[in-house]
Amino acid sequence: MRRSMSVAVLGGLLAVSTLAGCGGDKEAGSTGGGDDKIVLGFSQVGAESGWRTANTESIKASAKAAGIELKFSDAQGKQENQISDIRGFITQKVDVIAFSPVVTSGWDAVLKEAKDANIPVILTDRAVDSQDTSLYKSFIGSDFKVEGEKAGEWLAKEYEGKTGDVNIVELQGTTGSAPAIDRQTGFAEKIKANPNLKVVKTQTGDFKRADGKTVMETFLQSTPKIDVLYAHNDDMGLGAIEAIEAAGKVPGKDIKIITVDAVRDGMTALAAGKINFIVECSPLLGDQLMEVVKKVNKGETVEKRILTKEGTFTPEQAKTELPNRKY
């Protein structure tokens, strides 16, 4: 009996202290904006790929250049880590919070806490599916559908005025992932107008080199004539090049190759003429992020959806760009 009493008392104390904590945050949030140096809390997905590492480095470098104090945390691919990181930023009373959500759902509660504490939130690279869009100020990142469209446009132009059938095979990313779905639909929409451009086979290569190679081997055996390969990232394309070469064909000539990403390995193959066209998916969004951070900190309104500045590359452009590729 005595024990349960003490538990109740302790629970009561905790509840009071949490309430007090919330109140304190609110007051600090309204005055905290007046500091001369902006404090940005950033929670990264993890370090799962070279692309992600370049993304992290870009954010760190841009923060330094913009004179913004960066509190960086790595969620190691886990949503629960990321939620506790964001709660940490709220208690530390940072001026702005930015993060790349590990998954799309389940953010409403923690984003509400940030909003109640008057801390603006910016999403980078990946979106959340919250119905209440007032929970975040802006989303900076690539539009995967536009990337697919760029790839489709290039192909339609490449075969402009030609009527012969063009057999396309597609290496998809991880089944069900946003980039895989959007890159597929964007591409399909742009080639729809040309009935001679046909996607004859489409299969997942899980964004991996080895899987890209295995699937391409089977494509080559089971499809009589392949003219074009569209791979949703450079790595699968690079794996497929190995398979094409092993089959005694010349990548880039016998089979035209389009990929997405433009990481250094992909650009090297592009410069060597083994890939014909790469649509960039840039991790270097640091500068754009810092601009938005400064604006929201001043209370200015920003665009809800900001696209990363990215281009496309042909083999000639790749040769000049390659020495500058950091990732």
Q: Which is closer to other proteins, CB of 57 or CB of 153?
A: 57
* DSSP-derived secondary structure for 87-152: HHHHHTT-SEEEE--SSSSS-HHHHHHHHHTT--EEEESS----S-GGG-SEEEE--HHHHHHHHH
**148 and 185 Cβ atoms separated by less than 8 Å:** yes
Q: Which is closer to other proteins, CB of 120 or CB of 252?
A: 252
Q: Are strands 166-172 and 228-231 parallel, antiparallel or unpaired?
A: parallel
* DSSP designation for 45: -
Among 247, 317, 246, 245, which residue's Cα sits nearest to residue 274?
245
Of the candidate spans 85-93, 110-118, 130-138, 204-212, the one that interacts with other proteins by CB under 8 A turns out to be 204-212
Q: CA–CA separation, 232 vs 254, rounded Å?
A: 20
Of the candidate spans 48-56, 104-112, 139-147, 271-279, the one that interacts with other proteins by CB under 8 A turns out to be 48-56
Is 167 a residue that touches other proteins (CB under 8 A)?
Answer: no
**149 and 187 Cβ atoms separated by less than 8 Å:** yes
Minimum Å gap between C-beta 304 and other proteins is 31
Choosing from 28, 33, 53, 153, the residue that interacts with other proteins (CB under 8 A) is 53
Q: Which is closer to other proteins, CB of 137 or CB of 183?
A: 183
Minimum Å gap between C-beta 311 and other proteins is 23
Is 250 a residue that touches other proteins (CB under 8 A)?
Answer: no
Minimum Å gap between C-beta 155 and other proteins is 21
Per DSSP, helices labelled H in 33-78 are 50-65
Report how many residues bind other proteins under the rule CB under 8 A. 36
Is 265 a residue that touches other proteins (CB under 8 A)?
Answer: yes
> At residue 11, what is the residue type?
G
Of the candidate spans 147-155, 245-253, 280-288, 300-308, the one that interacts with other proteins by CB under 8 A turns out to be 245-253
Please list every residue from 21 through 40 that binds other proteins, using CB under 8 A. Answer: none
Strand runs labelled E in the chain: 39-44, 69-74, 96-99, 121-124, 138-141, 166-172, 197-204, 228-231, 256-261, 277-280, 305-307, 312-313
Stretch 209-238: interaction string toward other proteins, x if CB under 8 A: xxx-xxx-xxx-xxxx----------x--x
Rule CB under 8 A: which residues touch other proteins? 47-50, 52-53, 172, 175-176, 201-204, 206, 208-211, 213-215, 217-219, 221-224, 235, 238-239, 242, 246-248, 265
